[in-house]
């Protein structure tokens, strides 16, 4: 198992890609993004449409159109993307899948995973969509391969 769904992996990589293009004032077209993050183009289209509808992405149709994020979105936490795509399970669900697992009715792993989940949550709330733009522009970080 991975931490995120494949859909969410594509979403995060695409958002980072679009973000660093936006930082240079460019919009990114679907083909460009799909090539830039090595994802299936038409599947990615669906993901970006979904993020667009949810207000986590902006787009313009027609020649020289494409996807971009504005300053407001650059500052949003990555957790917004993860929640929109994978929901709250990663932050709040029981590791063993129990619906009523809680402090007063804990599963065996409840205590230990509480800390893990909190750290993942903190990490994704602290990290912003635009937070890696310099490193991405400098080629220090990878979004494909």
Q: Which is nearer to DNA, 53 or 114 (CB)?
A: 53
Task: Note whether 129 binds a copy of itself by CB under 8 A.
Answer: no
Residues binding DNA (CB under 7 A): 5-7, 10, 29-31, 39-43, 45-46, 48-49, 52-53, 59-67
Q: Which two tokens stand for residue 8?
A: 């969410």
* Count, residues near a copy of itself per rule CB under 8 A: 46
- CB atoms inside a 10 Å sphere around CB 72: 9
User: Residue 84's binding partner, choosing from a copy of itself, DNA, none, with beta-carbon cut-off 5 to 8 A by kind?
Assistant: none
CB-based contacts of 63: which residues, under 8 Å, 6+ apart? Answer: none
Cα separation, 26 vs 33, whole angstroms? 12
Cα separation, 53 vs 138, whole angstroms? 31
Given 35, 75, 123, 137, the residue binding a copy of itself (CB under 8 A)? 123
């Amino acid at each position: 198992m991975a931490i995120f769904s494949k859909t969410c992996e594509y979403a995060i990589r695409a958002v980072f890609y679009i973000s660093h293009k936006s930082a240079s004032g460019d919009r990114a077209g679907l083909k460009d993004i799909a090539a830039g993050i090595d994802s299936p183009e038409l599947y990615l289209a669906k993901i970006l449409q979904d993020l667009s509808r949810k207000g986590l992405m902006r787009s313009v149709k027609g020649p020289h159109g494409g996807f971009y994020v504005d300053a407001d979105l650059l500052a949003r936490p990555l957790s917004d993307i993860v929640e929109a795509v994978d929901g709250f399970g990663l932050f709040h669900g029981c590791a063993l899948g129990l619906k009523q697992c809680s402090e007063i009715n804990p599963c065996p792993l409840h205590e230990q995973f509480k800390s893990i989940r909190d750290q993942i949550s903190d990490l994704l709330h602290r990290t912003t969509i635009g937070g890696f733009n310099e490193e991405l522009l400098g080629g220090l970080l990878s979004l494909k391969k």
